[in-house]
Amino acid sequence: MGFTHLFGPVSSRRLERSLGVDLVPYKVCSFDCVYCEVGSTTMRTVTRQDFFPPSEVEEELVRFFSGEPSLDFITLSGSGEPTLSLSLGRVVRFVKSRFPAYPLAVLTNGSLLWDSDVQHEILPADVVLPTLCTVDEEIFQKIHRPAPGLTIKKIVEGLRDFRKIYPGEIWLEVFLIPGINMDRDHLSALGDEIRRIHPDRVQLNTLDRPGTEAWVRPASREQLADAAYHLGLPGAESIEPVPYQRSQEQISADPASMIVEMISRRPCTVEDIALTTGLHLQEVGKLLRALSRDPRLMTKREERGIFYSWVGD
């Protein structure tokens, strides 16, 4: 029996071996980011609600952890914004009480951290990973295309307030897009604000898979290093791919279905699939060739290679 609300474990560039937990339906988000690898937002909102019974998530977690898997993190993330779920606090408490040996991370765009309910619901988490790409309202609107009512001022104030009460670690992502938010003066102002927020880690990120908008291009390693210098944050780290392989005993009995599930969530290269699943490159190639008979398999050539995605049911 498969899972509806869990995905992985997957090889994560920021959280290593991570089990993802979906708390919202596909592409329900407060942003419609131009760089999002999951695709365009289908429901853009800041209204929190229960999208499905939290007991469904809890039952799947109990079933998954009955096998005592090896993990680095349980991550509330997925294909939308997890803080939009009114079940967030309940699931956080459930994970921390039932599976205390596993660190809990919340991967968020940070758009609702001004909400005191959201702040207190995620306080038990070990790590919170928000995003801050700019302090300029025009650039904010261009990159994130937020739901009405969200401003960068509101989000920055929320990050500052959350830092004051949160005892865990904050790993702040700065997603960089050449030609948009990498101007030296802009980076200097952003660095000043980041120092006021006091995150434990600053992680510079850029496009790794096809984004929502075709004009978005990745920053080079040299550009990322230059950005770190102009941010004035010597400890800022660039996010690199994690060369992690899943153990053979955990590979699905149906590898084709496993691949479809993986590329339904985000585009992947043959190498991405092999690293995450533990399947040999040749076996992945054969499975993709077989799947290519189905029109739902899509391909797109990017700088890092050919990306495969699955569109539709």
DSSP 111: T
pTM: 0.80
Which one of 178-187, 230-239, 292-301 scores highest in mean pLDDT?
Answer: 178-187
pLDDT at 266: 76
**Which helix or strand (DSSP H or E) is residue 10 part of?**
strand 6-12
Whether 203 contacts 231, CB under 8 Å: no
| R_g of the chain, CA atoms, integer Å | 19
Beta strand 201-205 pairing with 169-175: parallel
Mean pLDDT of 201-228: 89
SS3 category, 279: coil
SS3 category, 65: helix
pLDDT at 136: 97
Half-sphere exposure of 87 (CA within 13 A, CB side): 19
Q: Place 241 in a pLDDT band, splitting at 50, 70 and 90.
A: low
Rounded distance between C-alpha atoms, residue 34 and residue 178, angstroms: 13
Mean pLDDT of 251-260: 72
Query: What CATH number belongs to 6-244?
Result: 3.20.20.70
Half-sphere exposure of 1 (CA within 13 A, CB side): 7
Mean pLDDT of 206-225: 87
pLDDT of 105 higher than 80: yes
pLDDT of 239 higher than 60: yes
Q: Place 101 in a pLDDT band, splitting at 50, 70 and 90.
A: very high
Per cent of the chain over pLDDT 70 is 94
Whether 105 contacts 127, CB under 8 Å: yes
Q: Cα 139 to chain center, whole Å?
A: 21
pLDDT of 57 higher than 80: yes
Mean pLDDT of 60-85: 89
Give the residue extent of every domain in the chain: 6-244, 251-313
DSSP 131: B
pLDDT at 205: 93
pLDDT of 298 higher than 90: no
Mean pLDDT of 184-196: 96
Residues in the chain: 313
Instruction: Assign residue 222 a region (left: φ > 0; alpha: ψ between -120 and 50; beta: otherwise).
Output: alpha
Rounded distance between C-alpha atoms, residue 123 and residue 47, angstroms: 21
Mean pLDDT of 177-199: 96
Instruction: Identify the residue with better confidence: 300 or 38.
Output: 300
Mean pLDDT of 273-285: 76
Rounded distance between C-alpha atoms, residue 236 and residue 232, angstroms: 9
Instruction: Identify the residue with better confidence: 150 or 265.
Output: 150
DSSP 168: S
Rounded distance between C-alpha atoms, residue 82 and residue 202, angstroms: 21
Query: What CATH number belongs to 251-313?
Result: 1.10.10.10
H helices of 99-232, in order, are 116-121, 137-144, 152-165, 184-197, 221-231
Mean pLDDT of 184-207: 95
The chain-wide mean pLDDT, for the chain, equals: 88
pLDDT at 292: 84
Among 18-32, 67-81, 121-135, 263-277, which stretch is predicted with the lowest mean pLDDT?
263-277
